Amino acid sequence: MKGYTRYFRNRILWYLLTFVVALVLNFVLPRLMPGNPVASIAAGVTESLTDQKAAAEMLEEYTRAFGLDKSLPEQFLVFIGNLFKGDLGVSFRRYPTPVVQILKESVPWTIALQLPAILTGWMLGNLLGAIAAYRRGVFDRAIFPAFLFVGAFPSFGLAIILLFVFGIMLRVLPTSGGYGFDLIPGFNLQFIASAVRHYQLPFWSIVLNTIGGQAIGMRSMSIYELNADYVKYSRFLGIRDRRIVGYVFRNAMLPQVTGLALSLGTMVGGALVAETIFSYPGIGSTILSSIKAQDYPMISGATLFITVGVLLANLVIEILYGFIDPRIKANQQE
């Protein structure tokens, strides 16, 4: 077990460090840009408000939250301090709702949508890719370009097409929102049914895109593994084909797990934009409206959350990976 402990400790430390770098980036990027938007935005937003009192309040709140009257290093300390208190400032767009409050409303929607969608797409894609590699022939020749083509559609592109076909032409599924606009979220059958119906289109647009990309990767990994020496040897030992396919599938999956970790950021990005197509009440839509409303605290908070989410997901994947690939343990023992 010593090898594992060391591996996990290393990985956790590494991710903590990465998190710190991400924090610094989140803080520094908008502040170091010419014109320093963080300083100038508040002025812009308050100007457009007619209620002078509210504008003054907002400006004060903004100065407080971001420590604008202080130097850059001090601002960073304020930023970190606030972060640990769970204070990400107050949204301009929905003044005076705290950013954390808005995140709390939208995050569950995003997680409930993206986690199952990406996992489903990943699993289906791997399965189809492995089948294509194993069956070869017509199945492979027909399905490979199909994967490639579907995978070439960004998930928001698929979202638009699905929305148009199923939501508008065929009118079988709702086109916008996370649930019927006439319903109040609650644990009742009507609400759940509505939420499930609203879930379909965003879900499948993410799944389809993920399937395409993953199947291609899995197909070539499986072909590589099928040509591996251990496959030939196992065959000559008389081991059943089905068992050998099991070996190949498992071994080809391993790089796909790492691949998932590496491409998670890109996938989440695409999926967030797909959310906006359906005005799904998740973080994607929140970012879109925050950008439109120049709601800097909200943008900063949301991007920070996405970063943390992706880093955490990566960490979980890497830890799981440590358990399923014996090579990790072996490497640590040297």
Q: Which of residues 9-48 bind another protein (CB under 8 A)?
A: 14-15, 17-18, 21-22, 25-26, 29-30, 33, 35, 37
Candidates 47-55, 93-101, 184-192, 230-238: pick the segment binding another protein (CB under 8 A). 230-238
Measured between alpha carbons, how far is 129 from 144 in angstroms, rounded to an integer?
8
Nearest Cα residue to 179 out of 287, 289, 281, 283: 281
Measured between alpha carbons, how far is 291 from 303 in angstroms, rounded to an integer?
12
- Residue pair 45/92 in contact (Cβ under 8 Å)? The answer is yes
Q: Is 249 left (phi over 0), alpha (psi -120 to 50) or beta?
A: alpha
Measured between alpha carbons, how far is 125 from 107 in angstroms, rounded to an integer?
26
Q: Which is closer to another protein, CB of 40 or CB of 190?
A: 40
Tell me the closest approach of the beta carbon of residue 273 to another protein, in angstroms: 5
Q: Which is closer to another protein, CB of 199 or CB of 295?
A: 295
Q: Which of residues 43-102 bind another protein (CB under 8 A)?
A: none
Which of 121, 270, 301, 322 forms a contact with another protein (CB under 8 A)? 270
Which of 119, 230, 320, 323 forms a contact with another protein (CB under 8 A)? 230
Task: Note whether 157 binds another protein by CB under 8 A.
Answer: yes
Bridge-partner residues for 98, per DSSP? 90
Which of 53, 85, 171, 292 forms a contact with another protein (CB under 8 A)? 292
Sequence-distant (≥ 6) Cβ neighbours of residue 323 within 8 angstroms: 4
Task: Note whether 277 binds another protein by CB under 8 A.
Answer: yes
Q: Which is closer to another protein, CB of 54 or CB of 262?
A: 262
Task: Note whether 139 binds another protein by CB under 8 A.
Answer: no
Task: Note whether 161 binds another protein by CB under 8 A.
Answer: yes
DSSP letter at 49 equals -
Task: Note whether 146 binds another protein by CB under 8 A.
Answer: no
Block residue for tokens 């065959």: 235
Nearest Cα residue to 92 out of 289, 303, 295, 301: 295
Report how many residues bind another protein under the rule CB under 8 A: 85
Task: Note whether 107 binds another protein by CB under 8 A.
Answer: no
Bridge-partner residues for 90, per DSSP? 98
Which of 156, 192, 217, 283 forms a contact with another protein (CB under 8 A)? 156
Sequence-distant (≥ 6) Cβ neighbours of residue 113 within 8 angstroms: 199, 202, 203, 206, 271, 275, 280, 282
DSSP letter at 96 equals T
- Residue pair 178/195 in contact (Cβ under 8 Å)? The answer is yes
Sheet strands (E) in the chain:
none
Task: Note whether 257 binds another protein by CB under 8 A.
Answer: no
Tell me the closest approach of the beta carbon of residue 178 to another protein, in angstroms: 18
Tell me the closest approach of the beta carbon of residue 241 to another protein, in angstroms: 8
Task: Note whether 325 binds another protein by CB under 8 A.
Answer: yes
Concatenate the DSSP letters of all residues of 73-86 into one string.
HHHHHHHHHHHHTT
Candidates 58-66, 83-91, 194-202, 294-302: pick the segment binding another protein (CB under 8 A). 294-302
Which of 63, 175, 200, 332 forms a contact with another protein (CB under 8 A)? 175
Q: x/- binding map, residues 304-323, to another protein, per CB under 8 A?
A: --xx--xx--x---------
